[in-house]
Amino acid sequence: GSPPMNLIDGRLVNGRAVMAPLNFELPFAGGAKASGATEGRPLVFGIRPEDVYLESGAPVEARVHDVENHGVEKILTLRVGDTTLRATVPARTDVAIEQPVRFAWNPHKVVLFDKGSGVSLRHAS
């Protein structure tokens, strides 16, 4: 797809997605089975830009690195430390380069991949 899925290194800790190396946290809705099988092991979290959203009370602060205007939507590149990820937002969203924003993701839309093999763990049992 375009833009491509965000792929972020991290691990599951107590059922929450903790991103390395910054240790920012986002909720994860993979259920206890997925958490038990993957707790603490190196993972890659996959999330589509349309499932990342800006919200004033969201758990993670980022800086706007880039804004691409696509008519009905904007594709934002967000920077958290050395990690960048993309978010698709409505065109009316008013943002500027280097502006601090807060974001979250839809925890039901996150796909897990094993960091070593790259295998999807979406249906981890």
- Tens-level pLDDT at each residue, the chain (125 residues): 678 999 999 888 887 888 866 667 787 876 545 556 677 788 999 999 999 999 999 999 999 999 999 999 999 999 998 889 999 999 999 999 999 999 999 989 998 998 999 888 864 43
pTM of the model: 0.85
**CA dist 79 to 63, 66, 106, 114, Å?**
5, 9, 18, 24
Q: Which domains does the chain have, with CATH numbers?
A: 6-114 (2.40.50.140)
User: What's the pLDDT at 79?
Assistant: 95
Backbone phi and psi for residue 50, each to the nearest 5 degrees, phi listed first: -70, -10
Residues pairing with 104 in the sheet: 53
User: What's the pLDDT at 27?
Assistant: 77
**CA dist 81 to 13, 21, 63, 100, Å?**
20, 9, 9, 12
**Amino acid at the residue 35:** S
Which two tokens mark 35?
């958490």
Residue pair 65/29 in contact (Cβ under 8 Å)? The answer is: no
User: What's the pLDDT at 21?
Assistant: 63
Which two tokens mark 11?
């691990």
